[in-house]
Chains A and B, each alone.
Chain A
């Protein structure tokens, strides 16, 4: 088999039918461009949601879970018996993590941990005039919180240092501040669920871009919350842990769960909705992209079939003059490959341009998401995948007509 002649013949065929070649090529181009735009956009959305979830929430959170799912006393005494206990109440116990600060120090020493922030969080009411607005106060060590969440980058007004220097200071979420009609320098009265009250001064406003956080959370100094709920300085309810690699959070969380008798929750468990959405978007992207490529494949199949039909006399003459079935297959396969490859390259370029345009298109997501333009992820992987898909589709689409061409019986054609 001589590929060079096959290539020359294929090239001549393609160049004499430029229009047809272009149509076949544009089919591939369109398919791949859409594939790239879709997958870049979808993955961009996934990435954005994951990032914002990861940014604003701990990779691993340790807290005391107060639930009633403990075994009843009768169950412990008489484990084999038929015991029925209705409506068991939780034990009266504190939501504290014993030795929280010691545990925090211990975890902080692990090499894969970026930082640990012990917190005291409690439900409170912010009193605006006579209306109580529910919210959460997180008593934090500002420096540690800064290390975990880069809080200073998220300040809309005020600075985190103001919180450190003011023991009565509070930094409010943007939406909460708006709801309460508070600005930096204003004072607000809070009431805890245990009845304690405190007068706090707003020293800053932050925004994570996540509604549930911005709408309810306020940061205060740890001592202030402990004072508000009348607990000692070792009273810690939550340990927030950030890992150097978020993926490490799951095994690390499992390890912690074995070590300590507290509820350990990693980000993947806490954000299952986001991860499920990600999976669904992933499947959708592939289904739609695959469909586009199949349609493009059928386009090529049709055109190659037509091409073979039009060239039936030429094929017969080539076979008569000594070209074998393999040569004929090569001639038509080379045409498909050229169409596929050029189409794919063009598709990649168009796909990139469209993705770029999309990534700079302004998009107003309102208060819900902190985002100015559509999120688009640029990843070489998708472009390689697009080209591979395109070439494979055209190979398949070209193979069957080529096979058919190879089977043409020259006698039938030449005898007329």
Chain B
């Protein structure tokens, strides 16, 4: 584990309510920090609010109470477009169901967030996309339409896409939830690798105990509350 302790994500007193069909508190006073380079898994039973929490951390869900800070920047209360730009640059996502754009080739899928960022010319974005695809061992399929890939392959492409802008944090919503054992291991290895070598932070919500156990820390949730931050276990 990294010796330097800088918090890249800080959630303070987060409360969240669902109003449909009846008012119901999903998250109850959640406060926690994630350190740079940390590989954090959030576990808990279905309905405990862990996915809801992840979507708040991802900045896509903005209807909550409390404050969220990523990379030292307060994100609570920013406009949707500002948040989108922030996500583009600082956050990467991997979902349970791959979610690639089916009309586009593998390479284009990976390139799109990079082109959107517009920090590098298209040629360089392409170069980087190839590099990321090589990392997930998908570079040979770069020009295939993404709809022609298997589930495991699509998930690896999705990881490459999440990495294209060198985000500070990569978030996963059950990234192995839909994969067989071999593919799950492959995805895990990639995560482990980027966390260690690039110092990128990883936060995943998972049901997979093996996947969680391989990370740096396991945070357990139950009934909208954090019941274990996972530090105790490591000590």
Binding site for B on A (CB under 8 A): 2, 4-5, 9, 12-13, 16, 313-314, 316-327, 409-411, 414-416
The answer to whether B61 touches A411 (Cβ under 8 A) is: yes
A-contacting 9-mer, from B36-44, B112-120, B179-187, B210-218? B112-120
- Not counting A9-B112, A317-B99, a sample of 19 additional A-B residue pairs whose C-beta atoms are within 8 angstroms of each other reads A2-B115, A2-B116, A2-B118, A5-B115, A313-B99, A317-B100, A318-B101, A319-B60, A321-B93, A321-B112, A321-B116, A321-B161, A322-B84, A322-B85, A324-B80, A325-B81, A327-B84, A410-B60, A414-B99
How far does the Cβ of B32 sit from chain A's closest Cβ, in whole Å? 20
Q: List 24 A-B contacts (CB under 8 A).
A: A5-B116, A12-B104, A12-B108, A318-B101, A318-B112, A319-B60, A320-B58, A320-B87, A320-B93, A320-B95, A320-B99, A321-B116, A322-B84, A322-B85, A322-B86, A322-B88, A323-B84, A324-B80, A326-B81, A409-B60, A411-B60, A414-B55, A415-B55, A416-B96
CB-based contact B55/A411 at 8 Å? yes
Least CB distance from A307 to B in Å reads 12
**B90 (CB) vs chain A CBs: closest residue:** A322
Minimum CB distance partner of A14 in chain B: B103
Closest 7 CB pairs of A and B: A322-B88, A324-B81, A324-B84, A321-B113, A16-B103, A322-B87, A317-B99
Q: How far is the CB of B175 from chain A (nearest CB, A)?
A: 13
* B residues in contact with A410, CB < 8 Å: 60
Beyond A320-B60, A322-B117, whether A5 also contacts B112 by CB under 8 A is yes
A321 to B88, CA, bound (A): 5
**Within 8 Å of chain A (Cβ to Cβ): is B188?**
no
Residues of B within 8 A of A314 (CB): 101-102
Mask of B159-189 contacts with A, CB within 8 angstroms, 1/0: 0010001000000010000000000000000
Q: How far, in Å, is B93 (CB) from chain A's closest CB?
A: 5
B51 at the interface (CB under 8 A from A): yes
Contact yes or no, B80 A325, CB < 8 A = yes
Interface residues of B (CB under 8 A from A): 51, 55, 58, 60-61, 80-81, 84-89, 91, 93, 95-97, 99-104, 108, 112-113, 115-118, 161, 165, 173
With both beta carbons as reference points, the residue of chain B lying nearest to A15 in the complex is identified as B103
Asked whether A322 and B60 contact (CB < 8 A) given A5-B112, A414-B173, A415-B55, the answer is no
Task: Report yes or no: B103 in contact with A12, Cβ–Cβ below 8 A.
Answer: yes
User: Across the interface, do A414 and B95 meet the contact criterion of CB distance under 8 Å?
Assistant: yes
- Residues of A close to B101: CB separation below 8 A: 314, 317-318
Most chain A C-beta atoms within 10 Å of own C-beta, residue among B81, B84, B115:
B84
Neighbour of A322 across the interface among B104, B113, B173, CB < 8 A = B113
Closest B residue to A328 by beta carbon equals B84
Contacts of B165 in A (CB 8 A): 322
Are B97 and A416 interface neighbours, CB within 8 A? yes
* Shortest Cβ gap from A21 to chain B (Å): 13
When distances are taken between beta carbons in the complex, the residues of chain B under 8 Å from A16 are 103
Q: Which residues of A contact B99 (CB under 8 A)?
A: 313, 316-317, 320, 414
CA–CA, A65 and B86, complex, Å: 86
Q: For the complex, what is the distance from the CA of A128 to the CA of B50, rounded to whole Å? A: 110
* Interchain CA distance A376-B89 in the complex, whole Å: 60
Chain B positions within 8 Å of A327 at CB level: 84, 116
In the complex the two chains form, what is the Cα distance from A318 to B102 in whole Å? 12
Closest residue of chain B to A414, judged by CB? B95
B87 and A321 within 8 A (CB) = yes
Bound complex: CA A322 to CA B82 (Å) = 9
Give chain B residues whose Cβ lies under 8 Å from the Cβ of A316.
Answer: 99
Contacts of A317 in B (CB 8 A): 99-101
Taking CB as reference atom, which chain A residue is nearest B117?
A322
A143–B158 alpha-carbon span in the complex (Å): 90
Write out the residue numbers on chain B whose beta carbons fall within 8 Å of the beta carbon of A415. Answer: 51, 55, 173
Residues of A within 8 A of B85 (CB): 322, 324
Contacts of A326 in B (CB 8 A): 81
What separation, in Å, do the CA atoms of A213 and B173 have in the docked complex? 89
Q: Once bound together, how far apart are the Cα atoms of A171 and B95, in whole Å?
A: 94
Taking CB atoms, residues of chain A closer than 8 Å to B84 are 319, 322-325, 327
Residues of chain A contacted by B116 (CB below 8 angstroms): 2, 5, 321-323, 327
A326–B81 Cα gap in the complex (Å)?
Answer: 8
Which residues of the other chain, A, contact B81 by a CB distance below 8 angstroms? 324-326
| A13-B61 Cα distance, complex, nearest whole Å | 27
| Chain A nearest Cβ from B109, distance in angstroms | 9
The interface centre, meaning the residue of B55, B88, B102, B116 with most chain A CB atoms within 10 A of its CB, is: B116
A410 to B93 CA separation, bound complex (whole angstroms): 12
Chain A min CB distance to B14 (Å) = 15
A313 partner residues in chain B, CB cutoff 8 A: 99
Chain A residues near B97 (CB, 8 Å)?
Answer: 416
- B97 → A minimal CB distance (Å): 7
Report the Cα distance A321→B58, complex, angstroms.
10
Q: Collect the chain B residues with CB atoms within 8 Å of residue A318's CB.
A: 101, 112
- A414 contacts across to B, CB distance below 8 A: 55, 60, 95, 99, 173
